[in-house]
A and B are shown apart, each in its own frame.
Chain A
Amino acid sequence: MEEHVGQIWDKLVTRLSDKSFKDSVVTLAQVSKPLGIFFRALGGDNALRIVESTATQHFAKRNWKHRVAGTGKYIELSWQDEDTLHLPKQINVFPDTDLNKDLYYWLAAVNAHTLENPSAKARGLQGWFAYSQQITVEVLQRFPGLQSRYDRLVNAYLQLRNIDEYFNEQEQSQEDAIAQALTKPGCVDQLPTSQYAPKPVLLWPHPNPPEVIDLSSRKKQPDNDAEGESEPSKPQQNKKENKRRNAERVDMPDGKDGLILHRFESIFGFSEFLNINRSTEDDDEADQDKADKNADDMDFLSVARDNQTKGGKIKFDLDLPAESIDEVVLESDILLPEWDYKKQIMQKDFCSVINYVHNTGEVGELPENLRRTAKKLRHQLEALTTKRVWHRHQTEGSELDLDAYINYMGERFSGHKVEQPDLYQQLRSTERDLSCLLLADFSLSTDTWLSNDARIIDVIRDSLFLFSESLRNTGDQFSIYGFSSRNRGHIRFNTLKTFEEKYNGIVRSRIQAIKPGFYTRMGAAIRYAAQKLEVQDTQQKLLLILTDGKPNDLDRYEGRYGVEDTRRAIHEAKAKGLQTFCITIDDQGGEYLPHIFGTNGFTIIRKPEHLPQKLPLLYANLTTNPS
């Protein structure tokens, strides 16, 4: 009974204190695509991903309703860090849907703009006050068309801002200053001080955006290489929620056993980072949803890193493919550069690649279950075969096109005045002068199970089989390589078929033997593949990349760093005259792929199990001249 009354009371006061308009809500999901284009067009960074921001605590005074209801502590504002733009998950502050949408566009415009004088971006309340006004002035100057939209937003916002609020004198003068700064940006220099911080202004950037975890801090706590801190599968695969959480990085406590809170499952009910020792061998499978919820309730997550891994992972380490005696190293210590986007420099000889071939000594056969499909595909791809055919209606040729000639003479004799048609026919072979290098991702994430009986790696294996089967008769030259990496010093490049080799049982046995490796250092792999493809003596050179996710590796090669390096590698390949195309089964790929490969440089296969059949057809589409 008590609980029941409590629920009703909670509902009542929450509703009483809630000033948002439910009917006119606009969510980020609805507008994120056009908003992204708008953001980039106005000068926003191409590489930034748009994500829903988490609510952050604002420390301003709350009105009595909020205090009674215990709400209003948190607010969703906008800010950006080096690889994401954070925007509120939904906006429902205005009764009018259009105004809510306008607010999204305004926030995108504000965040897209970089100040001409960045020193104004000083910390502190006064800094924020001056900065927000200056950025408003500059945005309106650059895009005068936004003025009317801004005016409408400010009018509506000021009317709603102070409903139910009671101010003392100091607070009132503070509010007045903010109202003035909104109406006439740039005209107020100082924000009057008061006991509380002012309420955050929805039209302005975040006053104190959450700190980002500095990836470079990892360097100070290097990983123990032998214990490869790795997970058997990518946990984000089944997570649709596109939300980032506030986090801080803390030092590892000095406990004897060490404490690791680096996976969300480990955090249950405390929000303070307590220096207590917990067993790192805690291998209970915590419910992901519960952990998510707890993470949502916390202001920030504390993350620490040490060199101890959970006991459960040892098992996985034993599963790692050891370098077997069958592996023959073709080339080793191939040094390749890597692009550091932060410093904007190419780091020379930064990565080291080993090129090996896995000779099982067997002669492989095409798996039984693929034979039918292979036959069908071969038939479909026959059009690619270079055959000599009669081309009719030619302006010149070895023989007269009798049909055309008879028509022409007939029309002339009947008195029609006709232009001379093309009267010849010629025996020609359809020109195809193409080599293709297929580069497949053998990273650990391919070990994930797709269904009860197939892992991603199995789908990739089938794809490689069908790709080769389909191409063997077309006359196009092709080669197949796979890659995986573990840190920059150990990038394994698995040769399955070179351009010179024929597709035969030995190649089949190599494809049969592929195994998931470690990580995805894509930039280096692309650079090395480009070197191989570049020397081919054909007019068209196509580099096909088959992957299942973002570039990532153990060190800082993840997030934007990895994306930028891969993008750089693709640009280098294009400069060498190679065509590049990426086929991915990562349905989150829409966010970063256009940045790496360009608008038309990739395709996402939503159903991975269709990849084997689709790959050869995709290849045919890509390489067929539409004319």
Chain B
Amino acid sequence: MSTDTQTNEIPFYSPQGNEESLFEHAYGNQLPVLLKGPTGSGKTRFISHMAAKLNVPLHTVSCHDDLTASDLVGRYLIGDGQTVWNDGPLTRAVRDGGICYLDEVVEARKDTTVVIHPLTDDRRILPVDRTGETLHAPDNFMLVVSYNPGYQSMMKGLKPSTRQRFISMSFNYLKPAQEQEVVEQETGIDAHMAKKLVAMANALRQLKDHDLEEGASTRLLVYTARLIKSGFDPVEACLAGLIEPLSDEDDVVSALMEVVYASFGK
């Protein structure tokens, strides 16, 4: 859980479509937003970009299996001879205003929906049972959740009743030319190499669902480009940055390396 106080610098983000203006309108009308898309497709970056652009604090919560409602709302801690109330990140965001971003929200325990629901309709309230308070969200409060539709375990899914409370935006991998631009911009690598890397990532994405669970993300591409930029051997960098993270099976790894050789030579 982290709260970013905004810096003057706005993080780089290359829009895929009209998502920036949609987000601004949603913010202006106090509508909650759901971001969906594969990992490493720019959801988190988009949020930090928008928070900086709108000049509001960003409270990020990475959801995990054991995240309960009280992790979000807050709890009493036992101090010296007394108990002290401690606000959770959601409560803090509602008190202070700003964007509260729940990353991978399906991972969280089911009881979290209880506190999310009243914040997502026109009441915009957060009842804190423990302290007996009912907090009303200020105008600059916005709830954003994200999830990865492809990456759900058998037992997890987003309930329709939760889905239908959000304005939804889909994120996908960028078009090759744009992705190349992003890789260049992020790492300062030369255009020729960036183009090769993007072509290779797109080749690997063709294998999604058939041979691999997930395609290579833009994030992995940026990491690989950084390794290459700092002087590491390109083929080795691809193995470490693009291939190994995608599969644990030896024969799949060696087959994917053939794709790398097809781009970089052997």
A-side interface residues toward B, CB under 8 Å?
33-38, 40-43, 46, 105, 109, 142-149, 395-396, 420, 423, 431, 434, 539-540, 542, 577, 579, 581, 594-595, 598-600, 622-627
Known: A395-B75, A396-B70, A623-B155. A38 touches B212 (CB 8 A): no
Chain B residues within an 8 Å CB radius of A581: 154
Closest A residue, CB atoms, query B264: A145
Decide: A43 near B203, CB < 8 A? Known: A395-B75, A599-B212.
yes
Name the residue on A nearest B77 (C-beta): A420
Query: Across the interface, do B210 and A41 meet the contact criterion of CB distance under 8 Å?
Result: no
Determine the residue in chain A with the shortest Cβ distance to B262: A143
Q: CB within 8 Å of A: which of B66-89?
A: 66, 68, 70-71, 75, 77-78
Closest to A142 in B: B199
Shortest CB distance B103–A (Å): 17
Instruction: With CB as the reference atom, state the residue of chain A lying closest to B109.
Output: A431
Beta-carbon contact of B259 and A42 below 8 Å: yes
B199 touching A37, Cβ below 8 Å: no
Q: With A148-B266, A149-B261, A149-B266 given, is the CB distance from A542 to B154 under 8 Å?
A: yes
Contact status A599-B209, CB under 8 Å: yes
Q: Which residues of A contact B212 (CB under 8 A)?
A: 599
Contact present for B255 and A33 (CB under 8 Å): yes
In the assembly, what is the distance between CA of A105 and CA of B266, in Å? 13
Task: Give 27 CB contacts A-B under 8 Å.
Answer: A34-B258, A36-B211, A36-B255, A37-B252, A37-B255, A37-B256, A38-B255, A40-B211, A41-B207, A41-B255, A41-B259, A42-B262, A46-B210, A105-B262, A143-B199, A143-B262, A143-B263, A148-B265, A420-B77, A599-B209, A599-B211, A600-B213, A624-B155, A625-B65, A625-B155, A626-B153, A627-B65
Contact partner of B78 among A37, A423, A625, CB < 8 A? A423
Separation of A109 and B263 alpha carbons in the complex (Å): 12
Interchain nearest-CB distance for B207 vs A (Å): 6
Partner of B204, one of A41, A146, A395: A41
What string of 1s and 0s marks CB contacts (under 8 Å) between B201-242 and chain A? 001101101111100000000000000000000000000000
CA distance A395 to B86 in the complex (A): 13
Whether B206 contacts A625 by the Cβ 8 Å rule is: no
Determine whether the beta carbon of A540 is less than 8 Å from that of B254.
no
Q: Is B159 an interface residue (CB 8 A)?
A: yes
Q: How far is the CA of A439 from the CA of B110 in the complex (A)?
A: 29
Give 18 A-B pairs besides A395-B75, A540-B157 with Cβ atoms closer than 8 angstroms: A33-B251, A34-B251, A34-B258, A35-B255, A36-B255, A37-B211, A37-B258, A41-B259, A43-B206, A143-B199, A143-B262, A145-B262, A434-B155, A542-B154, A594-B210, A598-B210, A599-B212, A627-B66
Known: A147-B265, A625-B153. A395 touches B259 (CB 8 A): no
Name A408's closest neighbour in chain B (CB-CB): B78
For the complex, what is the distance from the CA of A423 to the CA of B76, rounded to whole Å? 11
Contacts A34-B251, A145-B261, A146-B262 given; does A41 touch B206 at CB 8 Å: yes
Residues of A near B213 (CB, < 8 A) are 599-600
Closest 9 CB pairs of A and B: A34-B255, A37-B255, A627-B65, A143-B262, A145-B265, A41-B203, A41-B259, A145-B263, A625-B155
- Docked-complex contact A38 and B259, CB < 8 angstroms: yes
CB neighbours (8 Å) of A105 from chain B are 258, 262
Query: In the complex, what distance in Å separates the CA atom of A148 from the CA atom of B263?
Result: 11
Partner of A145, one of B68, B110, B211, B266: B266
Closest to A147 in B: B265
B residues near A599, Cβ cutoff 8 Å: 209-213
Q: Residues of A contacting B210 with CB < 8 Å? A: 40, 46, 594-595, 598-599
Max chain A CB contacts within 10 Å: which of B66, B155, B265? Answer: B155
Give the chain B neighbours of A146 by CB distance below 8 A.
Answer: 261-262, 265
* Bound-state Cα–Cα, A577 to B162, Å: 14
Question: Which chain A residues lie closer than 8 Å to B252 at the CB level?
Answer: 34, 37
The chain A residue with its CB closest to the CB of B205 is: A41
CA distance A626 to B155 in the complex (A): 9
A84-B259 Cα distance, complex, nearest whole Å? 21
Considering the chains assembled together, what is the distance between the CA atoms of A396 and B83 in angstroms? 13
Nearest neighbor of B212 in chain A, beta-carbon distance? A599
User: How far does the alpha carbon of A600 sit from the alpha carbon of B213 in the complex, in Å?
Assistant: 8
Which residue of A41, A46, A143, A396 has the most chain B CB atoms within 10 A of its CB atom? A41
A91 → chain B, closest Cβ, in Å? 16
Question: Provided the pairs A600-B213, A626-B153, A627-B65 are in contact, do residues A395 and B71 lie with their beta carbons within 8 angstroms?
Answer: yes
B196 CB → nearest A CB, Å: 8
**Looking at the complex, which one of A41, A142, A149, A431 makes contact with B110 (CB distance below 8 Å)?**
A431
- Complex formed: what's the CA distance from A147 to B68 in Å? 56
* Whole-angstrom CA separation of A395 from B196 in the bound complex: 50
How many angstroms from the CA of A118 to the CA of B75 in the assembled complex? 67
Closest chain B residue to A575, Cβ basis? B149
Q: What chain B residues lie within 8 Å of A395 (beta carbons)?
A: 68, 70-71, 75
List residues of chain A with CB within 8 A of the CB of B260: 145
Chain A residues whose CB sits within 8 angstroms of the CB of B70 once the complex forms? 395-396
| Residues in B neighbouring A540, C-beta threshold 8 A | 154-155, 157
CA distance A537 to B54 in the complex (A): 41
Contact A598 B209 (CB under 8 A): yes
Contact of A42 among B159, B203, B209 (CB under 8 A): B203
**Chain A residue nearest in CB terms to B68:** A395
Q: Mark B18-41, 1 if CB is under 8 A from A, else 0.
A: 000000000000000000000000
* Interface mask (B43-78 → A, CB under 8 Å = 1, otherwise 0): 000000000000000000000011010110001011
Indicate if the CB atoms of A144 and B265 lie closer than 8 Å.
yes
Interchain CB contact (< 8 A) of A38 among B71, B199, B209, B258: B258
* Bound: A542/B210 CA distance, A: 21
Q: Which residues of B contact A142 (CB under 8 A)?
A: 199
CB-CB < 8 A to B71: which residues of A?
395
Q: How far does the Cβ of B153 sit from chain A's closest Cβ, in whole Å?
A: 7
Contact of B254 (CB < 8 Å), options: A34, A579, A600: A34
Q: Which residues of B contact A41 (CB under 8 A)?
A: 203-204, 206-207, 255-256, 259
* Contacting residues, chain A, for B199 (C-beta < 8 A): 142-143
Whether the Cβ atoms of B263 and A144 lie closer than 8 Å is yes
Of all chain B residues, the one with the shortest Cβ separation from A595 is: B210
B129 to chain A, nearest CB (A): 11
For residue A44, which residue of chain B has the nearest CB? Answer: B206
Is A622's CB under 8 angstroms from B154's CB?
A: yes
Please report the C-alpha to C-alpha distance between residue A431 and residue B154 in the assembled complex, in whole angstroms.
14
Q: Name B130's closest neighbour in chain A (CB-CB).
A: A396
A42 to B256, CA, bound (A): 10
Q: A389 CA to B207 CA in the complex, in Å?
A: 44
Closest to A599 in B: B213
* Of B157, B203, B207, B266, the contact of A539 (CB 8 Å cutoff): B157
Whole-angstrom distance between the Cβ of B218 and the nearest chain A Cβ: 18
Chain B nearest CB: distance from A24 CB in Å? Answer: 18
Residues of A within 8 A of B68 (CB): 395-396
Which B residue sits closest to A409, measured CB to CB? B78
Docked pose: A577 CA to B155 CA in angstroms: 11
Contacts A147-B265, A149-B261 hold; do A577 and B157 have CB atoms under 8 A apart? Answer: yes
Alpha-carbon distance A149/B264, docked complex (angstroms):
11
Cα distance A41–B211 in the bound complex, in angstroms: 10
Nearest CB to that of A567 among chain B residues? B209
Q: What is the minimal beta-carbon distance from B168 to any residue of chain A, in angstroms?
A: 15
A599 to B255, CA, bound (A): 16
Of B154, B206, B211, B262, which is within 8 A of A109 by CB? B262
Report Cα–Cα, A623/B154, bound state, in Å.
Answer: 6
Contacts of B110 in A (CB 8 A): 431
CB distance from B209 to the nearest CB of A (A): 5
Distance in angstroms between the alpha carbons of A147 and B261 in the assembled complex: 10
What residues on B are CB-neighbors of A423 within 8 Å? 78
CA distance A37 to B196 in the complex (A): 19
A542–B153 CA distance with the chains assembled, in angstroms: 12
A43 to chain B: which residues have CB within 8 Å? 203, 206
Cβ distance A423 to chain B, nearest Cβ, rounded Å: 7
Complex Cα gap A33–B252 (Å) = 8
Complex Cα–Cα for A33 and B157 (A): 33
